[in-house]
Amino acid sequence: MKRKIVITGASSEIGLAIARKVAAPGDELLLQYRSRPQACEELSRQYPGSRAVKVDLTVPRELADFCALLDDTDMLINAAALTRTGLLPDLSPVDIGDMLAVNIRALTEICAAVIPSMCVKRAGVIVNISSVTASRAARGQSVYAGTKGYVESFSRGLAAEYSSRGVRVNCVAPGAIEAGTLKELLAYGEKEVKAAVTMGRLGTPADVAEAVNYLCGPGAGFVTGQVLHVDGGFRQGL
């Protein structure tokens, strides 16, 4: 059966891994990116009718135009996120505003855009990518952690509101995944990062994609309002 799958942040390492894992032949993909267009465009060409769209989620007009494309979505995966690290007084108003814009406002408006048609069909899946910081914040991540706490609470609220109409909403909360900004940290603190993971290794984008794929599939048909932590035991602390 053809599905319309929307993935934000699709050009990131995690976003691409998710897209490649969940998509099946015949699906129609709508891949949002802000940078690194080549990977998204290449992937979209593998699925007829699919497209990759460049959208700056901090710009209200671009966000509104993107939301206008989301009618009849069967599956939404919000992987877009913005991280700015620093103690609160050191973060600029732009840093703070951009994190709130992408991690909270954009995610909220995108979910609002897909829910009506999902309710009409009495079927739909939303998976929002959170972070281990929502439950175990670190120095320099107060704002980012706060936005991810919102993602988890918001997702539980949506599940309470729309599960009876066939819409399942869950989160995946990655921990120390060898991708994105964590790679910069590994350059000078790899030993310390690994020491905080009880499994003794870093996660991969594929680990996150497997978790998302599970929540999107029939095996999770009775799962909603949950946060699936993919962190190798990082939350447990050492």
**Residue positions annotated with a catalytic role:** 144
The closest alpha carbon to 146, from 176, 103, 202, belongs to 103
For residue 55, the surrounding DSSP H or E stretch is none
H-type alpha helices, the chain: 13-22, 37-44, 60-67, 93-100, 107-121, 142-162, 182-195, 205-216
Q: How far apart are CA 91 and CA 95, in angstroms?
A: 6
Strand partners, 53: 32
190 burial via Cβ count (<10 Å: 0-12, 13-18, 19+): middle
User: Distances in Å between the alpha carbon of 113 and those of 37, 65, 189?
Assistant: 24, 11, 41
The closest alpha carbon to 150, from 86, 199, 104, 215, belongs to 104
Cβ atoms 132, 231 nearer than 8 A: yes
